Structure 1
Amino acid sequence: MSISDLHLVIAAAEAGATVVRSHYGSALTRIEKSAGDFATASDVEAEQAILEVLRAARPDDLMVGEESGRTGTGENGRAWLVDPLCGTLNYAVQTRLVSVNVALRVGSRVVVAASADPFAEEVFWTDGAGANVRCAGVDERLAPSAESRLVDVNLDAPSPYERTRLAARLLADVGFMERFHPRVVSTTLAVAWVAAGRRAAYVTYGDLRDSVHFAAGIALCQAAGCVVTGIDGQPLHTGVGGLVVAADEQTHAALLTLLRDQRQEEK
């Protein structure tokens, strides 16, 4: 019997999470990628485990891995986006804030996605129609909420330095501090937390189109009913880039105002 794409994406994320969990706390060789960026043996092995699950079931699909790049032809219009360990630096210094992200894009749309927390042993997943979290085999519907007022700001954004500097300025903005409680966890697990009601919002700069890091989290938030736009409030991937995902319209509007004010001050 053929496994469904939904069951496959969850199984793949769980396979990666198992590897990440098994290596935690051990001495890990760092594989330098670029200035300030590196992978570990856990990243590489987790990606191999994920790809083995996917290839066994979908040998004709394109695979796009953070560590191994593109494999397969993708002639059928199906592409799996794989981020085996988001939060590598956290993991390397034994901070348990990481995620394993897997998403399937068909054409221009992500149709299923999963983001696994290896240490809480939770898998946040979406079939495109709704968003859930699975823990100990039980699924619970995700419900966004801005009640916490916790807003995660990404300071490791895939963007030029000046954009990251604006994100840092936002954290010190008086208006931001009066309304929200800033957090910086340095992993896209925090994007899934917005869908789950554990964060009020998430903000990052950078070009996130087809990003193996963000595809799963964005799909989760969209399916959960969050407000999801680019950094200027535009539809995703149609403007300067970036991401503002918020639990509700009020939180989203407040963040857009604060971000606009920061850009004006920069000028």
Structure 2
Amino acid sequence: MSIRSAGSDAELAVTAAQAGAAVVRGMYGAPLMRFEKSAGDFATAADLEAEKVILDVIRTARPDDAVTGEESGRAGADGAERMWLVDPLCGTLNYAVRNMLVAVNVALRVGSDITAAASADPFTAEVFWTDGERAYVRSDGVDEELMPSPDSRLVDVNLDPPFPSEPGFRAVRLLADTEFVQRFRPRVVSTTLAVAWVAAGRRAAYVTDGHLRDSVHFASGIALCQAAGCLVTGLDGRPLHTGGGGLVVAADEETHTALLQMISRQVTLVELTASSTAEGRPSRVVGAAGEASG
């Protein structure tokens, strides 16, 4: 069991995430007002109320810190050294149709590093958390250190937009890759709770596109995986936020290497097809499923 410090940033992240999770759990199944945000995206009254409660917890304990909430946006001094990133309900679409696969994410960025984070599952009462050094899951008040494992062979692939890496890479094409299907068992959970599951050994890996710097959705899960010892890079295998974007997080090096090879192959095939088309030659390249096309 870890040693707890009631005033630590990590404990505050846990407390805030638990407070938000209590709201999400309590409002589950009730008729909820929806607030349209963009095409196909919306927040519910539960998103807004959970964020309010989380921010109240943080501001009471750290009144000088800046915060960025998914629903309320940024508040605090420009260029603040300490910034809390809050996603009060990751998996709103799931939640709105009474699917319990959701997460409540709270993370603290100090400078360029996430130094404390928590991802709470409102329906199991588990909280995955890190102090930036080690990662744990708290259940019934007991902390157990997270241990990544590739044994499940389950790989979550995020199919939600945006897709800044297309046309070179599109996550959905991994599902048609013969090697991927033979080696792994694909899953599409549509909540970043699945990222925490990689740190906990419940998933072998997670893949998504997107620009993830200061992401309220992904900051907590990424920090958990890094502290647990997972392999964490962008889609191109470079350190996060230094290359083309996206995320590949894997429980071990073998899984990580295999996924990067599949992603690289996809990008190469798209480039070859584009080159052949530009030169006016019939395109005949081997597709992701191992079949000749053209």
**Residue in 2 that maps onto 1:250:** 254
Q: Which is worse superposed, 157-166 or 139-148?
A: 157-166
Say whether residues 1:33 and 2:37 are aligned partners.
yes
SS of the residue corresponding to residue 210 of structure 2 reads: coil
Deviation of residue 160 (structure 1)? 3.8
- Kept in 1: contact 2:157–2:186 (CA 8 A): yes
Say whether residues 1:189 and 2:193 are aligned partners.
yes
1:37-75: CA deviation from partner (whole Å, max 9, x where unpaired): 110000000000000000001111001000000111156
SS of the residue corresponding to residue 162 of structure 1 reads: coil
Which structure has the bigger radius of gyration?
A: 2
1:101 and 1:180 map into 2 onto residues whose CA distance is 27
TM-score (norm 1): 0.97
1:84 and 1:160 map into 2 onto residues whose CA distance is 25
Structure 1 residues 196-215: aligned runs within 5 Å: 196-215=200-219
**Residue in 1 that maps onto 2:137:** 133
Say whether residues 1:5 and 2:9 are aligned partners.
yes
- Kept in 1: contact 2:165–2:244 (CA 8 A): no
CA RMSD, 1 decimal: 1.6
In structure 2, give the amino acid aligned to 1:237.
H
**Residue in 1 that maps onto 2:84:** 80
SS of the residue corresponding to residue 243 of structure 2 reads: coil
Deviation of residue 165 (structure 1)? 7.0
Deviation of residue 7 (structure 1)? 1.2
In structure 2, give the amino acid aligned to 1:69.
G
Structure 1 residues 152-167: aligned runs within 5 Å: 152-160=156-164, 162=166, 166-167=170-171
**Residue in 1 that maps onto 2:174:** 170
In structure 2, give the amino acid aligned to 1:35.
A
CA 1:249–1:92: 2 relative to 1, 3 Å:
same
- Kept in 2: contact 1:146–1:199 (CA 8 A): yes
In structure 2, give the amino acid aligned to 1:137.
G
**Residue in 2 that maps onto 1:116:** 120
Tell me, which stretches of 5 or more residues in structure 2 are unaligned? Answer: 272-294
In structure 2, give the amino acid aligned to 1:205.
D
2:70 and 2:126 map into 1 onto residues whose CA distance is 22
1:201 and 1:255 map into 2 onto residues whose CA distance is 9
1:160 and 1:113 map into 2 onto residues whose CA distance is 26
1:108-151: CA deviation from partner (whole Å, max 9, x where unpaired): 00000000000011000000110000001010010000000000
Deviation of residue 263 (structure 1)? 1.4
2:80 and 2:262 map into 1 onto residues whose CA distance is 43
TM-score (norm 2): 0.88
CA 1:222–1:163: 2 relative to 1, 3 Å:
farther
2:206 and 2:109 map into 1 onto residues whose CA distance is 22
- Kept in 2: contact 1:159–1:207 (CA 8 A): no
In structure 2, give the amino acid aligned to 1:155.
L
Tell me, which stretches of 5 or more residues in structure 1 are unaligned? Answer: none
- Kept in 1: contact 2:168–2:270 (CA 8 A): no
**Residue in 2 that maps onto 1:47:** 51
CA 1:191–1:163: 2 relative to 1, 3 Å:
farther
